[in-house]
Structures are given as C-alpha cells and as structure tokens.
C-alpha cells in the first residue's frame, strides 16, 4: 500500500523566522514610541519655558505699577504727617495764648474782688492822697524823657537797617550774610519791647496812648503798638513764592493772633469799666475824692501787664514768621515792615504840613 505524505499543520508550533519578524516590528514600534516620548518632552519643556517667560513679562509691569503706587502712598503719608505736625504746633501755640489770657482773667477777677472788699470796708482816708502825690513825680518824667531819647536812637538805627536790607536783597547776597542781617533786625525789635516795658512802669498811659509815635501811627495803634494780625495782612502781599505748607501755617498764625488780640481787648475793656466805677464811687459834693483816686491807681497798675502782653504777642508773631519763612523771605518781611512804618510817618509829616497852610 502506497503511503501518502500529508504535510503537518504549523498551528501552535514555534517558528523562529516568524518570531524574529515580530521582534523587528516590536523593536520598530518601541523606537517610534521613544521618539514620540522625546518629542512630547521637548514640546512640554518649550511650553513651560514660554509660559514662564510670559509670566515674567506680565509680572514686570505689575511690579512697576506697585512701586509707583507705593511711592504715591508714601508721599501722601508724609504730607499728612507734616499737616498733623503743623496742626499740633498750632494747637500748642493756641494753648499757650489761652493760658496767658486765663492768667489775665484771673488777675481781673482778683481786682474785682478787692474792689468789692474795699467798698464793703468803706475805705476812705479823707484829706490828701497817700504818699502826697499821684505818682507823676520827677523820676517818672525823667523815665519818659530817657525813653524818648532811646527811641530816637532806635529810629536812627532802624533807618540804617532798612537801607542795609534793601541793598542786600538787591545785591542778592548769600543766605549766610542775610541771616546776620535778619538776626540783627529781630534783636532790634526785641530792644524796642524792652524799652517800652521800662517806660510803662513810669507812665503806662503815655505808652498805651502812643504819644511817642506820629499821628498816623497812633491812628493804627493797638495797646501801644501795631496789631499783629494787621501786620500779617501787610506782609503777606510782599512775600512771593509761598509754599502751600507755609501759607497754611501763616493762616493758622493769623487766626491765633486774632484770638489773642480779642481776648486782650476784652480784658482791657473790663479793666476800663472797673477803673471807671472806682473813680465814680462816692457821694457828689464831698469835696474830697482821694480814696477813689487812690483805689483807681491800684487798678491802673494792671495796665502795665496788658502792655507787656501785647508786646509779647507782637514779638511772638515776628519770631513765628521767621520760623515759617525762609531767610530771604524773612528779610523781605522785615524790609516791608520797616518801610510800612516809614510811610506812616511820611503821611503824618505831609498831613501836618497841609494842616498849617491857610485854606
């Protein structure tokens, strides 16, 4: 029997050739996979770098705006701090003025109480005044004569200082040299206030009435001198280039001056009423009023303190103005003040000359 060869089936039988082919395809697939992974990684890094760069570019303007905003806030805070400091100093000045005025008020109350006590006790010395005179003796007159002599010298020196300030400002000298002239001018006004205080002890009515001044100066006089608030009105138009802070402080100073002037004027009016009542006290037709006049003399002594307080306000105003203003502005202020009083004296001379001419 003839055998017949039947090829065997290759199912489930290991075939090296086939496996090698499969390994090649797998190898190629793995290579492509690695390449894809590398490309994805590169793209991811590129995107990350671009995102970081964009983030920095977006943050840069933001940081710039934050810095500018911080600078503006710091500037505003400094300005507010300066305003608070100026307001604090103004409150302290007002407090000092109010304290001085309160002391004056207490002294007036004490005078009123003493006046009431004298009325209740019926003080009357009859015949003649205590001490034999009213205090207007030769020493008093010699004291006034000495003041007039000193004031004449003060006026001559004042004229020289005005010429010096005018020449210095026109020549535009250095601030150091100008500072010396300003300090000399401030000391010169302090010397005037000292002279007036001494003269007021001799004859307070003479100083308060301004009899040592010209007629035009007397017209604008307030308790023996210029009114500080009016002085500021005269000086302000002559001071150019004031900063906002300087203008704010000058306005506060002007308000403080007006408050102090009003309070001192009210005290003067009250004292005037007390003296008037004291002099008018008693019965008409008695023929002797020494007790009333003597009592009034004691009240009049309080006028010396009013003159001193008025000069204190004037001196404080000058000093505060020199603190607020620059050296050059202060020099211009002193020059304007000196020229203002020169013009008032010139007005008085012109009026006196016209008054003597026949109509």
Per-residue pLDDT of the chain (359 residues), as tens digits, is 444 444 444 444 444 445 445 544 444 444 454 555 565 556 556 555 655 555 555 555 566 677 777 888 888 888 888 888 888 888 887 777 777 766 766 666 666 555 555 544 443 333 333 333 334 343 446 788 899 999 999 999 999 999 999 999 999 889 999 999 999 999 999 999 999 999 998 899 899 988 889 989 999 999 999 999 988 888 888 887 889 999 999 999 999 999 999 999 999 899 888 888 877 776 555 655 666 777 777 777 888 999 999 999 999 999 999 999 999 999 999 999 999 999 999 998 888 887 655 55
Residue 5 within any structural domain of the chain: no
Taking the model in full, what pTM does it have? 0.59
| CA 268/CA 208 separation, integer angstroms | 11
Specify the pLDDT at position 5: 43
Specify the pLDDT at position 19: 47
Residue 221 within any structural domain of the chain: yes
Residue 149 burial (C-beta neighbours within 10 Å; 0-12, 13-18, 19+): exposed
Between vectors from CA 111 to CA 105 and to CA 117, what angle results, nearest 5°? Answer: 140
| CB atoms closer than 10 angstroms to residue 38 | 10
Contact 104, 264 (CB under 8 A): yes
Per the structure, the count of domains in the chain is: 1
Residue 62 within any structural domain of the chain: no
| CA 35/CA 24 separation, integer angstroms | 16
Give residue 128's region: left, alpha or beta (phi > 0; psi -120 to 50): left
Residue 108 within any structural domain of the chain: no
Residue 152 within any structural domain of the chain: yes
Residue 75 within any structural domain of the chain: no
Which own/partner pairs from 212-219 qualify as long-range (CB within 8 Å, at least 24 positions apart)?
A: 212/147, 212/148, 212/151, 214/344, 214/345, 214/348, 214/349, 215/348, 215/351, 215/352, 216/344, 216/345, 216/347, 216/348, 216/351, 217/341, 217/344, 217/345, 217/348
Residue 321 within any structural domain of the chain: yes
Residue 277 burial (C-beta neighbours within 10 Å; 0-12, 13-18, 19+): middle
* Residues, the chain: 359
Q: Domain of 248? A: 141-281+288-356
The DSSP letter of residue 237 is G
Specify the pLDDT at position 296: 74
Residue 198 within any structural domain of the chain: yes
Helix, strand, coil abundance in the chain, percent, nearest 5: 80, 0, 20
Q: H or E stretch including 24?
A: helix 16-121
Which own/partner pairs from 270-276 qualify as long-range (CB within 8 Å, at least 24 positions apart)?
A: 270/108, 271/108, 271/111, 271/299, 271/302, 271/303, 271/306, 274/108, 274/111, 274/112, 274/115, 274/299, 275/299, 275/300
């Amino acid at each position: 029997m003839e055998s017949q060869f039947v090829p065997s089936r290759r199912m489930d039988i290991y075939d090296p050739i086939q496996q090698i082919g499969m390994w090649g395809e797998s190898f190629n697939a793995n290579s492509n996979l690695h390449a894809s992974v590398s490309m994805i990684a590169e793209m991811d890094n590129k995107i990350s770098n671009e995102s970081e760069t964009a983030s920095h570019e977006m943050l840069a303007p933001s940081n710039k705006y934050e810095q500018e905003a911080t600078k503006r806030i710091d500037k505003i805070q400094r300005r507010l701090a300066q305003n608070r400091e100026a307001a604090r100093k103004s409150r302290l000045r007002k407090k000092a003025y109010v304290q001085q005025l309160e002391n004056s008020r207490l002294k007036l109350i004490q005078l009123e109480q003493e006046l009431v006590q004298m009325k209740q006790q019926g003080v009357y010395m009859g015949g003649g005044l205590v001490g034999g005179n009213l205090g207007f003796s030769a020493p008093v007159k010699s004291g006034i004569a000495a003041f007039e002599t000193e004031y004449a010298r003060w006026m001559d020196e004042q004229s020289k200082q005005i010429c010096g300030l005018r020449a210095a400002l026109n020549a535009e000298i250095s601030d150091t040299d100008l500072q010396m002239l300003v300090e000399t001018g401030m000391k010169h006004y302090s010397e005037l206030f000292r002279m007036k205080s001494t003269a007021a002890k001799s004859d307070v009515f003479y100083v308060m009435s301004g009899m040592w001044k010209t007629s035009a100066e007397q017209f604008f006089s307030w308790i023996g001198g210029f009114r500080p608030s009016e002085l500021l009105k005269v000086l302000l138009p002559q001071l150019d280039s004031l900063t906002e802070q300087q203008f704010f402080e000058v306005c506060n100073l002007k308000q403080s001056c007006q408050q102090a002037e009003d309070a001192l004027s009210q005290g003067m009016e009250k004292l005037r009423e007390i003296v008037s009542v004291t002099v008018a006290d008693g019965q008409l037709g008695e023929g002797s009023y020494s007790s009333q006049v003597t009592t009034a003399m004691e009240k009049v002594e309080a006028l010396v303190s009013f003159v001193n307080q008025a000069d204190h306000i004037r001196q404080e105003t000058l000093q505060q103005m020199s603190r607020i203003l620059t050296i050059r502005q202060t020099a211009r202020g002193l020059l304007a003040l000196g020229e203002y009083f020169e013009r008032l004296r010139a007005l008085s001379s012109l009026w006196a000359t016209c008054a003597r001419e026949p109509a």
